[in-house]
Amino acid sequence: MINFTVGPVQSSDAVRAIGAEQVPYFRTAEFSELMLENERLIKKFAYATEDSKVVFMTCSGSGGMETAIMNCLNKNDKALVINGGSFGQRFVELLTLHEIPFTEIKLEHGKALTLEHLAPYEGKGYTAFLMQKHETSTGVHYDIEMVSDFCKRNNLFLIVDTISTFLCDPFDMTATNTGIMITGSQKALACAPGIAVMILAPSALKRVGENKCCCQYLDLKLALKNMERGQTPWTPAVGILRQINVRLKEIETMGGADAEIARCANLAKYFRDKLIEHNLPFEIVSESLSNAVTPLHPTTQSAYEIFLKIKDEYGMWICPNGGEMKDTIFRVGHIGCLTESDYDQLINAFIDLRQKKFI
Ligand SMILES: *Cc1c(COP(=O)(O)O)cnc(C)c1O
């Protein structure tokens, strides 16, 4: 199978080799050193300030989203949240569950975020802003510079879910004054699922220190204290943390975050150019694309039927959508260990389906 989904994605041979090894004991100086190296490289790739801290939580990306909310916000906050798809909706549900006062900015699927969306909330006493940098469900990449300026003007604490855009699109944690960023091991980090990576700027560390977190397992005070010596309070997903180490060093050797972003951008462009070249019956449905994924509306067949056909008859996974987008949108990812020739195979499958009048 070739995997063109947005996670889990294909891993490099070196990362996969780690998965075949015995899981080592981890309360050792060697593992601590590996964790501190992971912290250093993650901070470097996200352009975080020297005094920022990284934690590796054993949970998926959604666990990282909930951790951020539980540790950094409370009932005295007044949050703004962008809801443009399934992941924005998840933030809305989490804020509701944890009883954080908030206002939702709801976007039509596929639409970019504009200054008009933010304008009504200038100078209205908001304290925090939550967004996906890239809403993976609809493939819309938001203008974080615009949000960042809004947050600086209004003194808002910015929480950014970069889960599907970190290492795919440029992100500068310092320039954007992001308080906390979240990513996951199975997106562009291209490792097994199971680790949420979070970077906390000093503004987030201050909030964590002043907040009470009503969940021991996800308490960032404990995670941060342990991470001072490269450890975790509980047994982490040791094997995945070792994979992350191999992967981060791989990226470093290949030229760092910018080179990895360029690689992803090239694959996205290659695929999008081929779609046009072959005049395939799919429309790109996002006003603002990320390099991570191309969201497509097939004009002649159900998106889900195309997903099934490609999976069962051509041995490839494209990424189906859920809910109301199930029949109208599928997505093709550009993250993980993929090559141009993988895209040639996918394009050939689409051409074959058109010849057979399936699409
Ligand atoms: C994948 C994803 C998540 C959720 O991650 P899980 O690992 O499935 O919990 C959250 N936000 C965005 C933007 C994502 O792409």
Q: For all residues of the chain together, what is the average pLDDT?
A: 98
Give nearest CA residue, ligand 1 atom 6.
61
99: left (phi over 0), alpha (psi -120 to 50) or beta: left
Contact 134/6 with Cβ under 8 angstroms? no
Per residue in 251-268, pLDDT tens? 999 999 999 999 999 999
Atom of ligand 1 nearest to the CA of 64: 9
Give the residues surrounding ligand 1 with Cβ less than 6 Å away: 7, 60-62, 87, 132, 136, 161, 163-164, 184, 193
pTM of the model: 0.97
Distances (CA, A) of 155 to 73, 129, 177, 207: 15, 10, 10, 14
Name the domain count of the chain: 2
Structure tokens at 291: 């390099």
Q: What is the mean pLDDT of residues 284-289?
A: 97
- The helix/strand/coil state of 231 is coil
Question: Which amino acid, 162?
Answer: T
130, 164, 240, 290: residue to mutate for ligand 1 pocket, most atoms within 8 A of CB: 164
Task: Band the pLDDT of 176: cuts 50, 70, 90.
Answer: very high
Q: Are residue 227 and residue 278 in the same domain, yes or no?
A: no
Final residue of a domain: which of 213, 233, 253? Answer: 253
Closest C-alpha among 160, 190, 191 to residue 174: 160
- Cα 171 from Cα 60, distance rounded (Å): 21
Band of pLDDT at residue 220, cut at 50, 70 and 90: very high
Domain span including residue 333: 257-355
Please tell me the distance from the alpha carbon of residue 108 to that of residue 96, in angstroms, as a whole number.
21
Q: What is the DSSP code string of 29-53?
A: HHHHHHHHHHHHHHHHHTT--TT-E
Domain boundary among 253, 280, 307: 253
Write the CATH number for 343. 3.90.1150.10
Domain boundary among 253, 273, 289: 253
